[in-house]
């Protein structure tokens, strides 16, 4: 059992101002693995004060100095890579192979993406009218991250904040705090100045809200549910701070009859189930051209039956448990809603898979004949649940794909290059993947509509942490 009750503030591990213990649970065994502290508004005040003090000098560091620090962090991250992978498996339940190859790997990829962006960054430019535009760090940033891709979201916020010359206070999810604490150790070891990075664990409603409302926080960067994103925006409104949000998704996957669907459909279903379905950009709504609908359902059923649930500590390509009993109950309720609303259950259903009575394991579940008005088509399930529906024409598919409050990702499978471009242009989503193309490091990640605002990763992600200053000088006579 880890004792991780301290916060990282002003370059040191400090006790909370008032003790308030919380047990972190292994979702595969339901056993406690660590005790952490739930911070209070006073703990947030102390961390923000440290970040504010540090900003005065850290914002003056040069780009070269910051590149040097980030490169050191990358080296340390690589040295402690396996430790990170083990922690993510322990607290999130991500199977160890997936944790090594994906969850932990993204931490390396994003660091490279931001180091490259910083190397090419122009902090000053002269406009054709003679005025100068400077890009300056926005100030002290509050960063709130969820549990589903924990180090991914931490890297997408902490790294650009520090790269831009901002200082920050991170509040990770209390379900997965251990990877964040290891990241804090790495930042310390890399030699970032005291106060430039601070970490306080605690509940969203108290610590998260205290950050959003804080008068000395200049920007909030949040990833999580749309509900909490709205709360962060409202809490931030009185102090008119910048808010960037990366929220949920209900991403459509359009499968046309002219595609190589025998290859592409299995790959997108595996992607939907990856991380036990706990990914905001997962292709969870599959729209299939009617002429191939029955064939695709056959493929889907096979992939669903083939998908293994397994112990996160075992190597292999199985999926693990959901993160918590709250998430398990939420997913069960939505599977039940799919059944009640009349969708056809192809694979899976409510309850735990056989042999997995302990732990928050859910059955990989596929529904056919889903109507886009059903809850399983409209709400983010965040579990291994796929909804499939037929369409007759391209226009209809686009209308249904866009008929969602979300707009994070979209997926298009077609053998017709013109159609791929035409459909991509009409989809209201922040990212469109054609024929299985992955998201690449350095490219902007983020969504339209209620999937949020702002973009994370590379140069676009850096931009969010910068303010623009125009310098007007008297024109030369």
* Min dist. Cβ of residue 200 to ligand NDP (A): 11
Interface residue with ligand NDP among 102, 225, 233, 239 (CB under 6 A) is 225
Residue 57 CB neighbours (<10 A)? 12
Q: Which of 26, 103, 173, 196 binds ligand NDP (CB under 6 A)?
A: 173
Evaluate whether 97 touches 316 at the Cβ level (below 8 Å).
yes
Stretches 50-58, 89-97, 242-250, 423-431: which one binds ligand NDP (CB under 6 A)? 242-250
| The one among 143, 217, 232, 300 contacting ligand NDP by CB under 6 A | 232
**C-beta closer to ligand NDP: residue 177 or 348:** 177
Burial of 390 (0-12, 13-18, 19+ CB in 10 A): buried
Q: How far is the CB of 213 from ligand NDP (least distance, A)?
A: 9
List 452's β-bridge partners, or say none: 246
Q: Does 382 bind ligand NDP (CB under 6 A)?
A: yes
Q: Considering beta carbons, is residue 9 or 331 the nearer one to ligand NDP?
A: 331
Distance CA 7, CA 39 (A): 8
User: Which DSSP symbol is given to 85?
Assistant: H
Binding part of the chain for ligand NDP, among 85-93, 220-228, 396-404, 457-465 by CB under 6 A, reads 220-228
Q: What are the angstrom distances between the C-alpha of 349 and each of 235, 249, 268, 342, 384? A: 39, 22, 20, 13, 10
What mask of x and - would describe binding to ligand NDP in positions 40 to 69, judged by CB under 6 A? ------------------------------
Tell the residue number behind the tokens 């549910």, with chain if given: 225
Q: How far is the CB of 230 from ligand NDP (least distance, A)?
A: 9
Shortest Å distance, C-beta 297 to ligand NDP:
26
Question: According to the binding rule CB under 6 A, does residue 248 interact with ligand NDP?
Answer: yes
**How, if at all, do strands 219-223 and 242-246 pair?**
parallel
From the list 171, 263, 246, the residue with the least C-alpha distance to 447 is 246
Q: Which is nearer to ligand NDP, 165 or 249 (CB)?
A: 249
Measured from the CB atom, the residue of 99 and 173 that comes closer to ligand NDP is 173
* CA–CA gap between residue 156 and residue 144 (Å, rounded): 11
Query: Is 460 within 8 Å of 164 (Cβ atoms)?
Result: no
- Structure tokens belonging to residue 220: 């909030």
Distance between CA atoms of residues 96 and 81, nearest Å: 12
Nearer to ligand NDP, 372 or 451 (CB): 451
Q: Which is nearer to ligand NDP, 152 or 259 (CB)?
A: 152
Examine residue 152 and tell whether it contacts ligand NDP (CB under 6 A): no
Q: Say if residues 272 and 282 touch (Cβ distance below 8 Å).
A: yes
Residue among 23, 98, 154 nearest 321 (CA): 98
* Integer-rounded Cα radius of gyration of the chain: 23
* 396 in active site: no
The one catalytic residue in 246, 271, 289, 379 is 246
Q: What residues have CB less than 8 Å from 261, skipping those under 6 apart?
A: 255, 292, 295, 296, 299, 413
Asked if 443 interacts with ligand NDP (CB under 6 A), we say: no
Any contact of residue 376 with ligand NDP (CB under 6 A)? no
Q: Kindly determine how many residues on this chain lie close enough to bind ligand NDP according to the rule CB under 6 A.
A: 25
3-state SS class at 253: strand
Q: 231 to each of 140, 191, 382, how far by Cα in Å?
A: 20, 34, 20
- Per-residue x/- mask for ligand NDP, residues 95 to 134, rule CB under 6 A? ----------------------------------------
Stretch that binds ligand NDP, among 4-12, 42-50, 218-226, 342-350 (CB under 6 A): 218-226
Footprint of ligand NDP (CB under 6 A): 144-146, 148, 173-174, 203-205, 208-209, 212, 223-225, 228, 231-232, 246-248, 280, 330, 380, 382
Query: Where in the sequence numbering do the catalytic residues fall?
Result: 246
């Amino acid at each position: 059992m880890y004792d991780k009750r301290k916060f990282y503030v002003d370059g040191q591990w400090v006790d909370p101002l008032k003790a308030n213990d919380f047990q972190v649970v292994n979702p595969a065994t339901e056993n406690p693995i660590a005790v952490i502290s739930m911070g209070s508004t006073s703990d947030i005040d102390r961390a923000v004060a440290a970040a504010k003090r540090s900003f005065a000098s850290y914002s003056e560091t040069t780009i070269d100095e910051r590149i040097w620090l980030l490169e050191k962090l990358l080296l340390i991250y690589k040295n402690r890579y396996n430790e990170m992978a083990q922690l993510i498996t322990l607290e999130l339940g991500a199977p160890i192979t997936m944790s090594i190859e994906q969850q932990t790997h993204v931490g390396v990829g994003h660091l490279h993406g931001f180091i490259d962006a910083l190397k090419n960054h122009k902090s000053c430019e002269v406009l054709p009218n003679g005025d100068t535009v400077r890009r300056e760090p926005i100030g002290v940033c509050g960063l709130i991250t969820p549990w589903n891709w924990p180090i991914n979201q931490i890297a997408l916020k902490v790294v650009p904040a520090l790269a831009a010359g901002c200082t920050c206070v991170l509040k990770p999810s209390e379900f997965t705090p251990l990877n964040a604490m290891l990241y804090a150790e790495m930042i310390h070891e890399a030699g970032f100045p005291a106060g430039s990075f601070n970490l306080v664990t605690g509940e969203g409603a108290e610590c998260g809200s205290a950050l959003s409302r804080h008068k000395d926080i200049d920007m909030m960067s949040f990833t999580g549910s749309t509900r909490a994103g709205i709360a962060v925006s409202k809490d931030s409104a009185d102090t008119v701070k910048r808010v960037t949000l990366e929220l949920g998704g209900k991403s459509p996957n359009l499968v046309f009859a002219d595609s190589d669907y025998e290859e592409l459909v299995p790959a997108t279903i595996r992607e939907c189930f990856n991380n036990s379905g706990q990914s905001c950009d997962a292709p969870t709504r599959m729209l299939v051209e009617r002429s191939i609908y029955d064939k695709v359902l056959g493929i889907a059923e096979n992939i669903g039956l083939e998908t293994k649930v397994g112990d996160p500590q075992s190597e292999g390509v199985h999926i693990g448990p959901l993160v918590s009993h709250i998430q398990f109950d939420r997913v069960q309720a939505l599977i039940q809603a799919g059944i009640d609303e009349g969708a056809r259950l192809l694979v899976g259903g409510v309850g735990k898979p056989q042999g997995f009575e302990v732990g928050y394991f859910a059955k990989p579940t596929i529904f056919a004949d889903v109507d886009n008005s059903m809850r399983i088509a409209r709400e983010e399930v965040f579990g291994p649940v796929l909804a499939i529906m037929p369409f007759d024409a391209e226009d209809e598919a686009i209308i249904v794909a866009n008929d969602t409050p979300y707009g994070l990702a979209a997926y298009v499978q077609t053998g017709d290059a013109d159609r791929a471009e035409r459909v991509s242009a009409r989809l209201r989503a922040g990212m469109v993947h054609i024929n299985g193309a992955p998201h690449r490091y350095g490219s902007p990640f983020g969504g339209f509509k209620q999937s949020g605002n702002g973009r994370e990763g590379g140069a676009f992600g850096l931009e969010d942490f910068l303010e623009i200053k125009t310098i007007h000088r008297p024109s030369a006579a």
